[in-house]
Amino acid sequence: MRIDKIQIQKHNDKLNAAHQRKVKQLVNENPNAKKVINKLVDFQIAVPSWALGTGGTRFGRFSGGGEPRTLEEKIEDVGLLHALNKSSGAISLHIPWDIPTSTRKIKALAAEHDLLFDAVNSNTFQDQPGQKLSYKFGSLQHVKEKVRQQAIDHNIEVIKHGKALGSNSITVWLSDGSCFPGQLNFRKAFERTLEGLQEIYAALPSNWKMFVEYKAFEPNFYSMTVGDWGQCYLYASKLGPKAYTLVDLGHHLPNANIEQIVSLLLMEKKLGGFHFNDSKYGDDDLTVGSINPYQLFLIFNELVEGMDARKMNHATDLGWMIDASHNVKDPLEDLLQSVEAIKIAYAQALLVDRSALNRAQEANDVAKAQEILQQAYRTDVRPLVAEARLRAGAALQPISLFRDLQVRKQLISERGLKTIATGL
């Protein structure tokens, strides 16, 4: 299924008059609003291939129907999202779940949908059918050299697939760690993992980045070998200038000050990218902004401040990706909500009066500093985000249009009710 320009135009025509009144008011009140709209147009967030089907928990999985069965259908789904919001112009693939049968055809299909290939992801956290050696006790940390080599070879293979597709980064998330005290020698596990990452790093094309993703716990519940931003920073520093940390919002211990972590990693030129999601308790992978939108705003506040301090391009100098998936909503509606939440937080962060905030900080005026942040956070920027969509040729209200066009019903009629996305 495809959504064409005429359908979007009709939808926008109905809503545009009321929308323009709201934009006008915001532009009058905020001298920066026009600049914010331009930055929002440029800001794209990659959609992961594994979020297009209903996620599961370890207790069950309830398919929503019409889920993509192949890589082609996954690209088609991201194409639908991008047509609706013009903010999801990239897909992040997971190998081996998404190995193309024909790279040429897949590239052409992505180009038809105006999509790029974002970071490719390796998978050594589960055993694949026919795999020789098991990752039950880890991959790059494994005590047996042959298992480590198998994991290294897999990552190098992932780089090859990514290179063929035009991607320029790999995300390595390792589930390595231990479930019980005494199971693992921490130092040896770190050293083995570093050696493995060094071999993978050596296989990176010159223009590539390696994102090393950390996670505090799960599936290992006593220790994780890349468990927090400190350990991740050590790996990234020892590896070299093409290696960066990747921050997944759900991968911290409860109440961690993620915005401070982001600020310092940026300062050290070691922040590479993001996996956006939200959580109440652990790695819940809930819709971005659904639980704690203020935290998301505070993170974007540090991102904008830190990237501007280093004169970085907001749209292109970090990897922006969603990593969320759950059991109860339509995955495409859910992704539209996540993208919207990210753009709202970004727009609010762009509205922060930086020079006033700096003056308040230098004067120890704590109340004023809070007022400045919350002034931006409490501004309803949704008309600016919608205006950016309008200018890019997308829908003013993507979810309404998704429902009006009965996209899910059509996908079910094309693909069937009982489909399960590959890899899930």
Give the span between the Cα atoms of 163 and 151, in whole angstroms: 19
Query: What is the largest distance, in Å, between two alpha-carbon atoms of the chain?
Result: 66
Task: Kindly give, in sequence order, each residue whose CB lies less than 8 Å from that of residue 167, ignoring residues fewer than 6 positions away.
Answer: 93, 117, 118, 119, 120
Structure tokens at 284: 């819940």
Cβ proximity to Mn ion: between 138 and 273 the closer is: 273
Cβ proximity to Mn ion: between 12 and 121 the closer is: 121
Structure tokens at 97: 């779940």
Smallest separation (angstroms) from Mn ion to the CB of 37: 30
Smallest separation (angstroms) from Mn ion to the CB of 275: 4
Q: Determine how many CB atoms are found less than 10 A away from the CB of residue 339.
A: 27
Smallest separation (angstroms) from Mn ion to the CB of 105: 28
Smallest separation (angstroms) from Mn ion to the CB of 227: 14
333 binds Mn ion (CB under 5 A): no
Chosen residue from 77, 248, 285, 302 binding Mn ion by CB under 5 A: 248
Cβ proximity to Mn ion: between 275 and 314 the closer is: 275
Cβ proximity to Mn ion: between 73 and 285 the closer is: 285
Smallest separation (angstroms) from Mn ion to the CB of 303: 17
Q: Which window, 85-93, 100-108, 241-249, 406-414, contacts Mn ion (CB under 5 A)?
A: 241-249
Smallest separation (angstroms) from Mn ion to the CB of 339: 16
Cβ proximity to Mn ion: between 8 and 47 the closer is: 47
Q: Which window, 66-74, 150-158, 162-170, 321-329, contacts Mn ion (CB under 5 A)?
A: 321-329
With beta carbons less than 8 A apart as the criterion, state whether 302 and 5 touch: no
Cβ proximity to Mn ion: between 118 and 323 the closer is: 323
CA 199 to chain centre: 26
Give the span between the Cα atoms of 225 and 376, in whole angstroms: 39
Smallest separation (angstroms) from Mn ion to the CB of 171: 8
323 binds Mn ion (CB under 5 A): yes
Smallest separation (angstroms) from Mn ion to the CB of 381: 26
209 binds Mn ion (CB under 5 A): no
Give me the 257-276 binding string for Mn ion, x by CB under 5 A, dash otherwise.
Answer: ------------------x-
Cβ proximity to Mn ion: between 216 and 356 the closer is: 216
Q: Which window, 229-237, 323-331, 354-362, 395-403, contacts Mn ion (CB under 5 A)?
A: 323-331
Q: Which window, 102-110, 258-266, 315-323, 332-340, contacts Mn ion (CB under 5 A)?
A: 315-323
Number of residues in contact with Mn ion, rule: CB under 5 A?
Answer: 3
Smallest separation (angstroms) from Mn ion to the CB of 330: 21
Q: Which window, 18-26, 40-48, 255-263, 322-330, contacts Mn ion (CB under 5 A)?
A: 322-330
Contacts with Mn ion, residue ranges (CB under 5 A): 248, 275, 323
